[in-house]
């Protein structure tokens, strides 16, 4: 009987290990590939309109699934806070990246977005929402920003085919994403993570559509000019990038350490870097590789520092 019980436990652990590996690979590859997906989608789609369509469809599908399965209906105050978060994350964080990818490589955008954990440390400290960072965190933040400076340094910029404005837009996107993430920690949100995310997608998608209208993107939108590769990229962003990637991430948050789940921030830039090189003819420069190594090293250092601190509490 005991042997049977042990075998059952081993089978459960083995199944969980397999599911963890599959979920991690999904987040690593799927979220790392969305930068290339955005680049292709906006070849024939206006940028804000494309992002709005993506998140409205993904949000509606996820919202319908959660409401039917969990029978939960959000309160008005929860809609208020998810709208604030959705605006900061999806209009500010994602929408600006979409605009920036008109003039910068998808790989460079991914490297800059990898600085989000660094900005969160700095912003949370400035807002006094957390204590002064420890030595490892400060060193990691310094290393990360050295990587940022190297990336922005204008040497051989003409060979990389991106402009300073696009790069600055991506940094602003990273900062707004960080503000949205920090705000979400104290916001009034549904207890269901999936419902909260569906609401953020719906509200953020609606704000993106309003922004697209204000920028006159409907006048630029012509169905007959849409390419099949842009349509495929949009479908990929909706069903794989938003739904599959998010579902895998939610499963990881519930079943493994949050520090293991957050390792996607280390891997996504490298995935985007090589996908851009092989499929979008983007330059794999030494400068970009050095910046990537420094930024990812900084995020690893900060994450490990947090993990050690949590284990000692």
CB burial of residue 140 (10 Å; 0-12, 13-18, 19+): buried
Q: Is residue 26 assigned to a domain? A: no
- Note down the domain range covering 242: 31-311
Position 230 confidence tier, pLDDT thresholds 50, 70, 90: very high
C-alpha 155/C-alpha 139 separation (Å) is: 26
Is residue 77 situated within a structural domain?
Answer: yes
Q: Band of the pLDDT at 158, cuts 50, 70, 90?
A: very low
Residue 30 has what pLDDT? 92
The reply to whether 18 falls in a domain is: no
Q: Assign 199 a pLDDT band (cuts: 50, 70, 90).
A: very high
Q: Residue 2 has which token pair?
A: 């005991």
In a domain, 22, yes or no: no
Question: Which residues 6+ apart lie within 8 Å of 299 measured at CB?
Answer: 114, 117, 118, 140, 144, 265, 266
Highest-scoring range by mean pLDDT, 115-124, 131-140, 145-154, 195-204: 195-204
> Which of 3-12, 22-31, 181-190, 236-245 holds the top average pLDDT?
236-245
What's the CA gap between 242 and 34, in Å, rounded?
Answer: 9
Residue 12: inside a domain: no
Q: How many domains does the chain have?
A: 1
DSSP state of 131: P
User: Cβ of 268: how many Cβ atoms within 10 Å?
Assistant: 24
- Quick one: average pLDDT of 18-28? 87
Residue 16 covered by a domain: no
User: Phi and psi dihedrals of 50, rounded to 5?
Assistant: -60, -45
The CA dihedral of 241, 88, 117, 61, to the nearest 10 degrees, is: -20
Assess contact for 67 and 192: CB atoms under 8 A. Answer: no
In a domain, 193, yes or no: yes
Q: Residue 161 has what DSSP assignment?
A: T
Per-residue pLDDT tens digits for 72-111: 889 999 999 999 999 999 999 999 999 999 988 888 888 8
Tell me the three state secondary structure of residue 280.
Answer: coil
- 237 located within any domain: yes
Rounded Cα gap, residues 114 and 268, in angstroms: 8
Question: Percentage of the chain surpassing pLDDT 90?
Answer: 38
The CA dihedral of 211, 213, 215, 219, to the nearest 10 degrees, is: 150
């Amino acid at each position: 009987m005991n042997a049977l019980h042990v075998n059952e436990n081993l089978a459960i652990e083995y199944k969980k290990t397999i599911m963890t590996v599959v979920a991690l690979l999904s987040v690593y590859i799927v979220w790392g590939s969305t930068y290339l997906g955005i680049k292709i989608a906006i070849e024939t789609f206006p940028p804000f309109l494309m992002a709005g369509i993506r998140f409205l469809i993904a949000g509606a599908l996820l919202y319908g699934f959660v409401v039917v399965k969990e029978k939960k209906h959000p309160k008005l105050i929860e809609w208020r806070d998810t709208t604030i978060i959705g605006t900061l994350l999806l209009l500010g964080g994602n929408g600006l990246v979409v605009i920036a990818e008109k003039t910068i490589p998808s790989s460079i955008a991914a490297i800059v977005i990898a600085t989000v954990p660094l900005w969160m440390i700095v912003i949370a400290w400035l807002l006094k929402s957390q204590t002064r960072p420890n030595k490892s965190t400060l060193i990691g933040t310094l290393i990360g920003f050295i990587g940022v400076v190297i990336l922005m340094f204008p040497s051989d910029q003409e060979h990389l085919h991106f402009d300073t404005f696009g790069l600055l837009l991506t940094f602003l996107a990273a900062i707004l994403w960080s503000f949205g993430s920090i705000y979400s920690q104290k916001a009034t949100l549904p207890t269901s993570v999936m419902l909260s995310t569906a609401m953020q997608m719906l509200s953020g998608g609606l704000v993106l559509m309003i922004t697209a209208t204000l920028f006159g993107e409907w006048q630029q939108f012509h169905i007959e000019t849409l390419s099949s590769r842009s349509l495929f990229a949009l479908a990929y962003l909706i069903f794989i990038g938003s739904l599959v990637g998010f579902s895998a991430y939610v499963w990881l948050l519930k079943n493994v350490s949050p520090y293991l789940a957050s390792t996607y921030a280390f891997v996504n830039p490298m995935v985007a870097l090589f996908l851009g090189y092989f499929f979008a003819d983007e330059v794999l420069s030494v400068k970009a590789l050095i910046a990537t190594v420094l930024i990812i090293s900084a995020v690893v250092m900060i994450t490990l520092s947090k993990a050690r601190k949590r284990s000692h509490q």
